Every structure is written in C-alpha cells, then in structure tokens.
Chain A
C-alpha cells in the first residue's frame, strides 16, 4: 500500500490483480453488460489509486475498493435512468413456490446468469445484500430508498431468481 501511495506501477498492478475479479463481477452484476462493466472497473481503479491516501482503515481495503465500484455503478445507472424500483407492492410480488435446492458448483454459472437477468432495482438490492453483505439499512442509505423498499425489492429479487432458475435454467 505504501508503494501504491508512491504511485509505484508494480505495486498498483499487484493491487489490481488482487481485486480485479471481485470488482468486475460486482460491476457486471450491477450493470449486466460486459463492456460497461469493464469501463466501470477502469474508472473505479483510477479513483482507487487517486484517493488511496484518504483510505482510513474504517473498512477492509477490499470493502473500501468495492464501495468505490458500487458508487461508480450507481452513478452510471442513475445517469441512464436505469435505477428504478418497480413492483414495490405485494400485489406485484411473484408467488412463493417450492424452493429450489442447488447442490452442485456446476450450477453456479446458471445462478450468476439469472442474477444478471433480474430487473435493475431488485438485482441491485439482491447483489448488495446477499452477495456483498450490506444490511438493508445501509442499502437504503446508499440507494436513497426506505428500508422497507430495500426489503421488498430483495424479496422480489429472490422470488424472481427462483422463478428464472426453475423456468429458464431448468434447475
């Protein structure tokens, strides 16, 4: 980290190597388009190196880097009016069905693909809560929504994911 602060290119590359996969997958889940996700990772890493001196250690370095990536994704979604939270009411909630019980790692690419197909709002909440470990209160603050909307969007995302995996991906 010291070397990164001195803008040592080798050290910067090491940091990049360490986090690029996680950042890219986070980006592609939030903005499910490979080329846009690459642009977001690029922009995020530039910010990481630019602001590294301000990292205070409140979160792990990985969490801090991910937060920068999340903010970059959200800014992109907002700029393109793509961050809409539809179907907040329970009338629009997909029906709860018998839960699927995945058991093999070979099923993970299907799950990943299905997450990318969810509507923007519920996909964003599901990604932040289930995959990145944010609490609904934090998500509400990050997205500027209520805790209740975050919970509803999560439930909606989870049910839609089950539905997609059953119907489209035959799990």
Chain B
C-alpha cells in the first residue's frame, strides 16, 4: 500500500459525502415506481384463531394457545431477555423438537468454533447488529406463531431463522479471517 491508498482507506467514509444529492427529489421518483403498500401481510391476513373452525382445527388451536402461553410465560420469566434458541417451540410436535435440536446444535457448534463469547463486538459491530436484528424479527415471528394454521408454516419459519443465523455466523467467520489477515499485514509492516 502506498501513502495515497492508505489515506483513501483511512478516510473511506468521507469519500461518500462529497457529491451533493437531491435526496428528496430522487426519493419521489423512486417511490412513484414502487408498488403500493401490501395489504396482504401473510401473518395478519390469516383469520384469528377464534375464527378457525374448532371442529376441524382443534388440535392446532390448542397447540397455538399452549405455545402462546408457553412463550408468554417464558418471556415474562426472563424479563423479555428471550434467547430465541432456547425457546421451547417443541410444544408443537416431537418432529419439530428434533428439527429445532438439530439447528440449535449446528448454531452452537458454529458459535463455539468462532469463540463468539470472547469476540470484540465493537470490531464486528455490523455483523452483531445484524444478528440482533434477526433475533428481533424472530421474536416478532414468535408472537405471530399462534395465528399460524399449518405446522409446515412453523417449520418453515423455524428453518428460515436458523438457516439465516448460520449464514450470518459464516459471514462473521469470513469477516474475522479478513480482520486477522489485515492485522497480520499491519504487524508485518511495523516489523
């Protein structure tokens, strides 16, 4: 790296503040091209559990209520500091419990491999921020779960959460490798 490259990298963010932008005018153009706000939100569009025919869906309804109570109690007990991985979604079925256990093991293995508890969160702030955002989204899913009619939807939501979490952890691994290589280069330079 020559001094010019170093200077550019040191001031990288400033380089994105040089050109004037007509932000509002540009947004107006963009928003005109976007489709209208969706009124078909999958979760909220579904009939409430009370509208579901009890004769046909009593089992799912009962499971939904049990889950809502379980999640609610767990949430209250932990003063809303829910660790999503530990949430007992298994109440839905043994199949779901096995699926969840498999994912939890995968996530745990990945977290152990990365030594996540000892990492400096400041350095990898962006990835940790995303992990937190994803946990928040998942907590919203949990609130909506009792309104899900089919077990497949629960499984799908669960898989989606863990798969995304594993991908984020894999990215953290790449970021860590990149960071340690950069540090190594810096040290070599100093020597």
A residues within 8 Å of B by Cβ? 1-2, 6-9, 12-13, 16-17, 20-22, 24-26, 28, 34, 38, 41-42, 45-46, 49, 56-62, 99-103, 105, 107-109, 111-112, 130-131, 158, 161-162, 165
Give the A-B contact count at a CB cut-off of 8 A.
111
CB distance A16 to B30 under 8 Å? yes
CB distance B8 to A58 under 8 Å? no
What class of interface size applies to chain B in its complex with A? Answer: 35 or more
Q: Which residues, 2 to 54 on B, are CB-close (under 8 Å) to A?
A: 2-5, 7-9, 11-12, 14-19, 21-23, 26-27, 29-31, 33-38, 41
Using known A-B contacts A1-B137, A112-B15, determine if residue A58 contacts B7 with beta carbons closer than 8 Å. no
A to B CB contacts below 8 Å, 29 in the list: A7-B36, A8-B37, A9-B31, A13-B31, A16-B27, A20-B23, A21-B16, A24-B19, A25-B15, A25-B18, A34-B19, A38-B22, A41-B26, A42-B29, A42-B33, A57-B130, A57-B171, A60-B127, A60-B171, A99-B2, A99-B3, A99-B4, A102-B4, A111-B15, A112-B18, A112-B19, A158-B2, A161-B4, A165-B4
Using known A-B contacts A24-B19, A25-B15, determine if residue A57 contacts B5 with beta carbons closer than 8 Å. no
A2–chain B nearest beta-carbon distance, Å: 6
Complex: A119 Cα to B9 Cα, angstroms: 21
Q: Which residue from chain A places its CB closest to the CB of B29 in the assembled complex?
A: A42
Complex: A162 Cα to B31 Cα, angstroms: 41
CB distance B15 to A20 under 8 Å? no
CB distance B164 to A57 under 8 Å? yes
CB of B158 within 8 A of chain A? no
Name the B residues within 8 Å of A131 (CB-CB): 8, 12, 15
Name the A residues within 8 Å of B3 (CB-CB): 99-102
CB distance B171 to A21 under 8 Å? no
Name the A residues within 8 Å of B22 (CB-CB): 38
CB distance B16 to A25 under 8 Å? yes
Name the A residues within 8 Å of B4 (CB-CB): 99-102, 111, 158, 161-162, 165
CB of B102 within 8 A of chain A? no
In terms of DSSP, what is the predominant structure of the interface of chain B?
helix
CB distance A7 to B34 under 8 Å? yes
CB distance B37 to A21 under 8 Å? no
Name the A residues within 8 Å of B11 (CB-CB): 105, 108
CB distance B8 to A130 under 8 Å? yes
Complex: A161 Cα to B2 Cα, angstroms: 12
A94–chain B nearest beta-carbon distance, Å: 14
Beyond A16-B30, A17-B23, list 12 extra A-B contacts (CB 8 Å).
A7-B34, A7-B36, A8-B37, A13-B31, A20-B26, A26-B16, A56-B164, A58-B170, A101-B7, A111-B4, A111-B7, A112-B18
Complex: A20 Cα to B173 Cα, angstroms: 28
Q: Which residue from chain A places its CB closest to the CB of B140 in the assembled complex?
A: A2
Name the B residues within 8 Å of A41 (CB-CB): 26
Q: Which residues, 158 to 191 on B, are CB-close (under 8 Å) to A?
A: 164, 167-168, 170-171
